[in-house]
Chains A and B, each alone.
Chain A
């Protein structure tokens, strides 16, 4: 088990700065997601940890030791490439055994570990096939097996679920989670999908434009994003300009009391759609009450999203599909003060 630390890491490609400055602490055995839009530098970060790219500045530490001078071959990391990078001229078996073979492990041991790992990834019946004869999910499992057989101290996966169809994606997600929990291996995976990051990771590192924007547990990131961009990326819809005074935020649609700490002045107020209650008659509680009219309705099966026009503002409310509120119906919204988040920067 290995703790990974990035200290002031920077990466330039010629005149272009892909990573401007990243500090990241990954605890031993932790499952961390690097989340960010395409081109923000996630793959580059992984490649630097693996040793495929040399940081232009800063340090990468494994268990507190600088690994800058340690060659790729000696870092003992595992990497599952986005497009798997299986050896097309080798069978599944040979692909998986490759890492042990080049390290000079003896035949009997290779044989033993090969059987074990093929069982784990359930590829026994495909062992004599070539990569070209496998489905996406099978190729991915080969790539994972090929990496795990070498007992890497850090496992990295670049967009492990991006190339799979929806059903397989769920299966693979569970597979990765179980595997990681069973082996307790420090794991870093890259994704541009915030749902995936939140579902899988212990902590999520949000990267924008080569900078670490926020590094937090999934629920903290979801409820308390540090900036409007992060809130936006995490799928927040109800973000409004507001003026803060004491514990009251004055937004276009009225004043809201909130519980969190904030300084007086201009800010943004964020209301999570699922934290808002929708009433058809005026509710008795008057605190944080917003009056409006249903202007749109989207049905997602289990959930319904209502768009409620409150003055000039459009507030989205997410509700379980226990009822259907008619369009144009007059409604009252309430939200508890502790479910309101203030974004200031």
Chain B
């Protein structure tokens, strides 16, 4: 076949490929990209359906970012998200490490730990209310066992800005997720490199930090990205279990959207865009940091 003919065929193949991809691209562009563009436009004052069109208008962001409550909300949002992510990560990795070793009734545990993954968030939140609230199961049990005189003396776990309840629900749900991800990665990695390291004289800590961890790092990175992105945008848990004003940013946005004054919708959209910006910056730096690490050890 001559070169030009082959080139033409190659071009035809590519065109055909793009045509096949078109429906998916269209859906993605309209649903995702379109919504994003519209959201940003709206936060900048473009909402003719409300009779508002002052585009481009940075006053919504100005008002939002100029207020100290926004920064306190942001702080809370980040605190819950980061704390829950870190705790889930450590517990999930430990759980996964335990699961690749053999121990009695392992198959039972392998089912048990996945349970929270199948239970909806709202049920988890309800469980937290029943278990951790004042007058909840835990407080009654403590009172019954004589640790405290009365269930009301039980320390406040829910509805405080320490956010123990919120973090507990996130951790309860996300530890199994991390464990599942890392467990799969560990199965792929196998035990042999760990065994080789041990024979070469490495102790348990050296084996973990120098052999196991670097090999499961990609799994750790991807699972933290997913749970952190979820945590920073999650709404139900902080809404129900949070300590009230100042709320986390998703709750703030929700309040704006539900305000009788519909022009506050634009303020709400500015809040949403702010969340996206913060999340984006954090996730991007995290990835960039990881890439730099990979380059440093020479993998890329």
B-binding residues in A (CB < 8 A): 50-52, 72-79, 81, 83, 85-91, 98-99, 102-103, 128, 130, 146-147, 150
Contact = CB atoms under 8 A, between A and B. Distances in A.
Contacts of B195: 52, 72, 81, 85
Given A73-B202, A98-B202, A102-B202, A89 B299 contact: yes
A73 B299 contact: no
Contacts of B192: 81, 83, 85
23 contacts: A50-B199, A72-B199, A73-B199, A73-B203, A74-B201, A78-B199, A81-B192, A81-B196, A86-B193, A87-B197, A88-B193, A88-B215, A89-B215, A89-B297, A91-B298, A98-B202, A99-B200, A102-B202, A102-B210, A103-B201, A130-B298, A130-B299, A150-B200
Contacts of A99: 200-201
A102 B201 CA distance: 7
Contacts of B33: none
Nearest to B202: A102
A146 B197 CA distance: 10
Contacts of B277: none
Contacts of B203: 73, 102
A130 B211 CA distance: 14
Given A73-B198, A98-B210, A102-B210, 9 more contacts: A73-B199, A75-B199, A81-B192, A89-B215, A90-B297, A98-B197, A102-B197, A130-B298, A146-B200
Contacts of B197: 87, 98, 102
A76 B206 CA distance: 17
Interface in B270-300: 297-299
Nearest to B204: A73
B214 interface: yes
Contacts of A74: 201
Nearest to A72: B198
A73 B215 contact: no
Contacts of A150: 200-201
Contacts of A52: 195, 198-199
B202 to A, nearest CB: 4
A73 B197 CA distance: 9
A74 B198 CA distance: 9
Interface of B: 192-193, 195-203, 206, 210-211, 214-215, 297-299
Contacts of B299: 89, 130
Contacts of A76: 201
B111 to A, nearest CB: 20
A104 B210 CA distance: 14
A99 B298 CA distance: 20
A235 to B, nearest CB: 32
A52 B198 CA distance: 9
A161 to B, nearest CB: 18
Contacts of A103: 201
A150 B297 CA distance: 24
A185 to B, nearest CB: 15
A89 B193 CA distance: 11
A88 B197 CA distance: 12
Contacts of A50: 199
Nearest to A143: B196
Given A52-B195, A83-B192, A130-B298, A89 B200 contact: no
Nearest to B294: A89
Contacts of A51: 199
A87 B199 contact: no
B156 to A, nearest CB: 46
Nearest to A105: B201
Residue with the greatest number of chain A CB neighbours at <10 A, chosen from B198, B201, B297, B299: B201
A116 B299 CA distance: 26
A76 B201 CA distance: 7
Contacts of B201: 73-74, 76, 99, 102-103, 150
A85 B196 contact: yes
Nearest to B206: A102
Given A81-B192, A98-B197, A130-B298, A89 B214 contact: yes
Nearest to A73: B201
A170 to B, nearest CB: 26
A261 to B, nearest CB: 45
B193 A87 contact: yes
Nearest to A47: B195
A77 B193 CA distance: 16
Nearest to B217: A89
A243 B194 CA distance: 56
A137 to B, nearest CB: 19
A95 to B, nearest CB: 9
Contacts of B210: 98, 102
Residue with the greatest number of chain A CB neighbours at <10 A, chosen from B195, B196, B200, B298: B200
Contacts of B214: 89
Nearest to B205: A102
A74 B202 CA distance: 9
Residue with the greatest number of chain B CB neighbours at <10 A, chosen from A52, A91, A150: A52
Contacts of A90: 297
A81 B191 CA distance: 12
B199 A79 contact: yes
Nearest to B190: A85
Contacts of B198: 52, 72-73
B193 A85 contact: yes
Nearest to B189: A88
A51 B199 CA distance: 8
Contacts of B297: 89-90
Contacts of A81: 192, 195-196
B36 to A, nearest CB: 36
Contacts of B298: 91, 128, 130
